[in-house]
Structure 1
Amino acid sequence: MSNTTNSEHDNKSSIDAQTQRRAVRERYGTIATDESSCCNDSLICCDDTDLGDRTKQLGYTPDEIDSISEGANLGLGCGNPNALASLKVGETVLDLGSGGGFDCFLAAAEVDEEGQVIGVDMTPEMIERARANVEKNDVSNAEFRLGEIEHLPVADDSVDVIISNCVINLSPDKPQVFREAYRVLRPGGRLAISDVVMTAQFPAETRNDIESLTGCIAGAATIESLQTMLADTGFEDVHITPKEESDEFIREWDDSRDLSEYIVSAAIEGRKPSQ
């Protein structure tokens, strides 16, 4: 595993942040308006049956999958952050990169009408799709806001739990993402994130490939780097736990190479200190 400052630096892409953000927005805007659920150029195409099987691989139960109407689950995650979050009735939950709203709607059921769920996504097409899915799922305690996860449209100290599913790796400024997460969390608030982490350096052609950067591959950071970012931000009780079984579905992300040699899905947890 790459675990030194130099190796982390050597693995950085030469693509600038503005170009990366624009490419991410364009890619996921296209996915949001595509009627075929999880077809894009980094993931295998799948019909509804395949999508259900893939979602189970990520750690969702059949009941969770069946409880959400078609169109919210786009097959883009790498885990089940709600399973980490241990949500309680009445809590306020924020989803970073909420996509079609699948995780938000599951969280909304957990926190019940006394709680609130806020989804933030920087892609207008995703926000439009998620808002349409609110009505389809008859949810009254979830809302979706357009914004970047590096600049959250959320008030200070207003959120109990932050969830995210394979999104933070897409950010070219991960420390800023965690600073924003810290800002909006209430004292004692917690992170429950599923994301990919880097276990070996990518070849230069991969880390400088815009499709790999926008496809939840080349933007992954090492566990050590993420631990440092979280600690420097002020989070405590930080735990990053690789899910070795994730190699089964990560291998399916690319027909030409075995991506499980470079990345693994992980549970990322932390807590803002209580005051």
Structure 2
Amino acid sequence: MSTTTPATRGTTPGSTPASDDVRAAVRTHYAALVEPEGSTRGCCGGSAPVSLELGYSEADLAAVPEGADLGLGCGNPQAIAALRPGETVLDLGCGAGFDVFLAARAVGPTGHVIGVDMTPEMLTRARANARAGEVANVEFRLGEIEHLPVADASVDVVISNCVVNLSPEQQQVVDEAYRVLRPGGRLAISDVVTTAELPADVRADLDLVAACVTGASTVDAVTAMLEQAGFTDVRVVPVDATRELPTTWDPAGDVRDYVVSASIEGTRPVGA
């Protein structure tokens, strides 16, 4: 989701970053994005034009509070979520609230949207955006997506935009998404998948963790994670329209041969 940040360099070439190091690198990077002097570029370029390329409309951009769209996504989970009025929605890694505010509009005043993020600076921005936009049917909670501060079987839809790949414990993230969904609830996320084996130096680079490259998994691996958690009707579909976007994720190289965005869906079975 970003340009590289020299401060996070230092991983031993060929080694795998430790979980704590991954979280620290991601948290530091995304905290910097909301600082006045911070970068406005995310893993997919980070601007309104990029959001339009990802499938959002001009109306979507105009409908959210100013400052909510930081351009940090790699797709448009709203396009596959099929949100309905009155539903409760959870956004994993909500950032400044862009997808939360769009979901709030879709579910209406009888619905509710929860955003969870581990970066306090992002939540401060998101809450300020909610106040500025007078959006009443949203809330933002501090927490890690591997340990969601959300009750069992309490939401109808889980969405996320290019965040699961940032976790060093992705199976735990998927398990948590399943836990908080009501039976019959659905998962609808955009994320990054690999199309070829990542080189060892890429896997070891903490900069490329925050750039949504290092943590990407194969389509088969993502499918297996969802099925292991208990999801049915699993679909992991690469999005061809995003194949050129990785050129902005790693200015020092070209990762188009290795990663692409994908739409990822699954359902918690009724009665489960």
- Fold shared per TM-score above 0.5: yes
1:133 lines up with 2:129 in the alignment: yes
Q: CA RMSD in A?
A: 1.6
Aligned residue for 1:205?
Answer: 201
Aligned residue for 2:69?
Answer: 73
Separation of aligned partners in 2, 1:195 and 1:113? 28
* 1:37 positional shift: 6.5
Describe the SS at the equivalent of 2:256: helix
Aligned residue for 1:54?
Answer: 50
* 1:135 positional shift: 1.1
Aligned residue for 2:17?
Answer: 15
Q: CA contact under 8 A between 2:212 and 2:249: conserved in structure 1?
A: no
Aligned residue for 1:31?
Answer: 33
**TM-score, length of structure 2 as denominator length:** 0.91
**1:150 maps to amino acid:** E
**2:152 maps to amino acid:** D
Describe the SS at the equivalent of 1:274: coil
Describe the SS at the equivalent of 1:195: strand
Separation of aligned partners in 2, 1:216 and 1:39? 13
> After the TM superposition, which residues 104-253 of structure 1 pair with which residues of structure 2 at under 5 Å, given as runs?
104-253=100-249
Describe the SS at the equivalent of 1:267: strand
Match of 2:256 among 250, 256, 260: 260
* 1:249 positional shift: 2.0
Work out the number of aligned pairs and report it.
258
Q: CA contact under 8 A between 1:37 and 1:71: conserved in structure 2?
A: no
User: Structure 1 residues 111, 43: CA separation in 2 closer, same or farther (over 3 Å shift)?
Assistant: closer
Describe the SS at the equivalent of 1:15: coil
* 1:70 positional shift: 1.8
Q: Percent identity?
A: 53
Q: CA contact under 8 A between 1:104 and 1:119: conserved in structure 2?
A: yes
* 1:250 positional shift: 2.1
* 1:35 positional shift: 5.6
Structure 1: unaligned runs, 5 residues or longer: 1-11
Separation of aligned partners in 2, 1:96 and 1:36? 23
Deviations 1:94-136 (A, max 9, x none): 0000000000000000000000000000001111110000012
User: Structure 1 residues 86, 251: CA separation in 2 closer, same or farther (over 3 Å shift)?
Assistant: same
**1:138 maps to amino acid:** E
**1:30 maps to amino acid:** A
Q: CA contact under 8 A between 2:65 and 2:130: conserved in structure 1?
A: no
Aligned residue for 1:85?
Answer: 81
* 1:271 positional shift: 0.2
Segment of structure 1 superposing worse, 249-258 or 206-215? 249-258
Deviations 1:123-169 (A, max 9, x none): 01111110000012210000000000000000000000000000000
Structure with greater helix share of residues: 1
**1:249 maps to amino acid:** L
Separation of aligned partners in 2, 1:35 and 1:90? 39
Segment of structure 1 superposing worse, 140-149 or 246-255? 246-255
**1:94 maps to amino acid:** L
Q: CA contact under 8 A between 1:192 and 1:270: conserved in structure 2?
A: yes
User: Structure 1 residues 13, 230: CA separation in 2 closer, same or farther (over 3 Å shift)?
Assistant: farther
Describe the SS at the equivalent of 2:193: strand
User: Structure 1 residues 188, 116: CA separation in 2 closer, same or farther (over 3 Å shift)?
Assistant: same
Deviations 1:19-47 (A, max 9, x none): 1111111111111224667236x665x7x
Separation of aligned partners in 1, 2:146 and 2:203? 21
**TM-score, length of structure 1 as denominator length:** 0.90
